[in-house]
Structures are given as C-alpha cells and as structure tokens.
C-alpha cells in the first residue's frame, strides 16, 4: 500500500544520553514498517517540521520512506510542539536509565569519544540528567494513551519480552528482532552511540563497560537518585509500562 504524508505516523524515542536509545532505535529502524534510526537534532515548533523530519530521515537512511512510522530520537530539551505531541498519529517511547551508570557513561564518552567539554563536568552532567528527566515527565503528560515507558535496564536483561510488548503497542505486522542492521551513519559522532558496541548488530547484554572509573560524591548521588525515583514513579502513572525492572 502506498503511504501518503497524511497517513504516516510519527514515533519519538524520548530519553537521555546513554540510555541505550541507540540500540533501541537501531532495532526499530531495522523493522520494515519503521523509517529512521538516530537523532536528527530537529526542533519541532510546528507540524510543518514533520516534513523536515521525513526529508532528514530519507537522507540519513539513504532510502525513500517505506514504512508506517517515521522515527526520531530526542535526548535533549529541544522544542517539541504540543500540537505534535497531542496528535493522534504520534506515538512515543520514553527510556529511563538509572543515574549512576548514566553519569559515568556520559563522562566516559566525554573522555574518549567527544570534545564537548561539559560531558566531563560532573555538576553539568547532573544538571542535564535532572532537567531532562523533568522534561520527560512533562512530555509524557501530553502523550497520555500514546506512550510506553521502558526502564532501560530491561532492554538488556529482558530484551525479547520488551520488544514483544513494544511490537504489540505499535501494532507491527511482524516481530521486532533482537539483532539489527548497520546504517550509513551507525557509530558516527552526532548520530547516536559513538562506541564500538553499536556496530556489533546485536544487543550487548552485559551493557556498556566503562573505560575509566568515575567516582561521584555522595551528595551528587543522592540528588540523582531523587530525580530518578520521582521521574520513574510519575512515568509509571502516565505511561503504559513495558516491564518492571527486576
């Protein structure tokens, strides 16, 4: 069936850096009904920006759009208009990873893969995590009934179960696979996970190993845990929950 712009749905993976969002988006983008696999860094101020998304995804995949969903991953507090979030043809997935490994992973990314200064600043990374989680709560409020919450750790520990729930949520005609394809910009900086792990084509059940030990002060850990617990509780109330973390 030929899909028109009006008949397409939009799928936003809403998370934060180092939340296994690249793995999830590669799995989703490998499905024949979903176009897109990485961040486009677009700002969505009006529904006209969805036309830019379609063009950008075609450019990033190197192929014409083929599926029922066009995907974008949003990990930063870019504009995301209420008119888009509240539309019947918008679906979303919210990913949330526990704070300590998240912060450690962001710092390691800054030390080994990126020249962005604030990635290695513990106070700045803490603020990013807190502010992003507060935004995820607000976004979930506008998406009620069209959003699934995935605790990021379950994507590794219970992959098949999470993907089964997600395929059902999106009403896909065939299952989501636990392996995935490489895309033209897989592993490139600015297009998602820059580490070697994303290029394996499969879920790494051991998670990302930290190359450099990162110790956090107790006061910072406490702040982060409060932000996480508050966000997780509110997301469980506002979203369909894929699986509860063990």
For residue 244, the model assigns a pLDDT of 72
* Per-domain residue ranges of the chain: 9-241
Share of the chain above pLDDT 90, in %: 85
* Low-confidence spans in the chain with pLDDT less than 50: 1-2
For residue 2, the model assigns a pLDDT of 41
pLDDT averaged over every residue in the chain: 93
Residues 60, 37: Cα–Cα separation, whole Å: 8
Which of these, 172, 196, 190, 200, lies nearest to 33 by C-alpha position?
Answer: 172
Q: What is the 3-state secondary structure (H, E, C) of the chain?
A: CCCCCCCCEEEEEECCCCCCHHHHHHHHHCCCCEECCCCCCCCECCCCHHHHHHHHHHHHHCCCCCCCEEEEEECCCCCECHHHHCCCCEEEEEEECCHHHHHHHHHHHHHHCCCCHHHHCHHHHHHHHHHHHHHHHHHHHHCCCCEEEEEHHHHHHCHHHHHHHHHHHHCCCCCCCCECCCCCCCCCCCCCCCCHHHHHCECCCCCCCCCCCCCCCHHHHHHHHHHHHHHHHHHHHHCEECCCCC
What class does CATH assign to 9-241?
alpha beta
Environment class of residue 202 by beta-carbon count within 10 Å: exposed (0-12), middle (13-18) or buried (19+)?
middle
For residue 3, the model assigns a pLDDT of 52
Q: What is the pLDDT of residues 125-171, one digit of tens each?
A: 999 999 999 999 999 999 999 999 999 999 999 999 999 999 999 99
Distances (CA, A) of 41 to 32, 101, 140, 167, 181: 23, 24, 20, 25, 22
For residue 189, the model assigns a pLDDT of 84
Order of all β-strands in the sheet with 90-96: 34-35, 69-74, 9-14, 90-96, 147-151, 240-241
For residue 190, the model assigns a pLDDT of 81
Residues 101, 53: Cα–Cα separation, whole Å: 31
For residue 191, the model assigns a pLDDT of 86
Residues 204, 157: Cα–Cα separation, whole Å: 10
For residue 205, the model assigns a pLDDT of 74
Q: Is the pTM of this model over 0.85?
A: yes
Beta partners for 151?
96
Longest dimension (CA), the chain: 56
């Amino acid at each position: 069936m030929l899909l028109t712009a009006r008949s397409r749905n939009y799928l936003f993976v809403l998370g934060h850096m180092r939340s296994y969002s690249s793995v999830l988006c590669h799995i989703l983008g490998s499905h024949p009904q979903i176009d897109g696999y990485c961040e486009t860094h677009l700002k969505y101020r009006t529904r006209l920006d969805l036309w830019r998304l379609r063009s950008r995804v075609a450019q990033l995949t190197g192929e014409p759009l083929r599926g029922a969903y066009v995907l974008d991953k949003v990990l930063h507090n870019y504009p995301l208009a209420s008119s888009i979030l509240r539309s019947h043809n918008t679906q979303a997935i919210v990913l949330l990873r526990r704070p300590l490994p998240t912060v450690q992973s962001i710092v390691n990314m800054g030390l080994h893969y990126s020249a962005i200064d604030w990635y290695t600043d513990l106070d700045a990374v803490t603020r990013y995590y807190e502010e992003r989680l507060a935004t995820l709560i607000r976004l979930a409020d506008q998406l009620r009934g069209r959003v699934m919450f995935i605790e990021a750790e379950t994507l590794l520990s219970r992959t098949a179960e999470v993907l089964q729930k997600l395929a059902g949520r999106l009403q896909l005609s065939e299952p989501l696979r636990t392996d995935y394809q490489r895309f033209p910009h897989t592993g490139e900086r600015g297009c998602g996970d820059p580490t070697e792990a994303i290029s394996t084509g499969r879920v790494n059940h051991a998670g990302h190993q930290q190359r450099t030990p990162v110790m956090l002060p107790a006061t910072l850990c406490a702040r982060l845990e409060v932000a996480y617990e508050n966000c997780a509780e509110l997301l469980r109330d506002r979203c369909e929950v894929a699986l509860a973390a063990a």
